[in-house]
Amino acid sequence: MMRKLVLVMMILSSSVMRADYSDAEPVVYDFNASVNTIVELLRAGNLGSIVEECTDEKLDVLIKNFSPALMAFEAEVLSCTMPVLLYFYRTTDSSKATTDALVATLAQLHHDHTKIVAIDADLFFSLSQAIDVQETPTFALCRNRMIEVSVTCSENVGRVTALMQQ
């Protein structure tokens, strides 16, 4: 299912704003904030302000075919020029504070070559299902519009960290 999503989103990728975070400060991006921005732009009729080469036809396709969550996923993850580490969590996870600290450390160490996006697996359950998140925490590394590796539990983060450095 994720491959279908990626293929469809590739068709529209030229119409969504692309960002380069190579000079950004170490930060873990909150996916919910990105979705809320898209929702606010849709409500205000200003979605065209973030679309490259905006035409009425492109806006019509985006609005009719993609949810704000999919638009944000395209802008924050699939269109990113650097690898993106997706951190799926649940607010009810007993180890969330420890895992959040680990993710913050990863952001400090790798912010110059990897973007980290935190996604609430319960709030964005369709996206979590598309990426096959079975349990949390789950880490997935997305590079060149494809999920390269997905691991669960904080103990397996070493595998993802090694890939982030390649």
Q: Higher confidence at residue 59 or residue 138? A: 138
Query: Predicted confidence band at 156 (pLDDT cuts at 50, 70, 90)?
Result: low
pLDDT of residue 8: 31
Beta strand residue intervals within 52-126, DSSP E = 84-89, 115-120
Domains of the chain: 2-164 (3.40.30.10)
Q: Would the pLDDT of 127 be above 50?
A: yes
Mean pLDDT of the chain: 78
Task: Tell me the C-alpha distance between 115 and 104, whole Å.
Answer: 12
Query: Predicted confidence band at 47 (pLDDT cuts at 50, 70, 90)?
Result: confident
